[in-house]
Amino acid sequence: MAKLRVIADTSFLMIPGLFGVDIMSELERLIERRYVLVIPKPVAEELNQLAAHGKPAERSAARLGLALLTRGGIVDAQGAADTAILKLAGGGNCVVGTTDAALRKKLRQRHVPVIYLRQKSHLAINGQLMGSQI
């Protein structure tokens, strides 16, 4: 069985710096099987931009997000980050991590499961993951 792809957007990778939630531990808790963290190239570019030019809290959170890039694989993708994520998610066998409400809505309309921050304290999944309702 192929590893589940966890596609991360910028807001998801900034959760540790903004809210103090360890997203890697939370992913282990939520996904009880092997997975691979996938970061579209536009997301890595957004993190670099925020780390260099964001507000102080954004800079700090983006730097922590950049450190997480070593835990996953950066994949080539064209266009804006959200567009790249939607294209990658179309391939199936994935879940997308985001706190972006508009992106979450688009993903759910396409029946893509979404991992999101709940109550600023933990991650939760919305949607079906490998045939089981989450």
Cα Rg, the chain, nearest whole Å: 14
Give pLDDT tens digits for 27-56: 999 998 899 999 999 999 999 999 999 999
Condensed to tens digits (0 to 9), the pLDDT of residues 86-134 reads 999 998 899 999 999 999 999 999 999 999 999 999 999 999 876 443 4
CATH topology of domain 7-133: Rossmann fold (3.40.50)
Q: Where are the domains of the chain?
A: 7-133
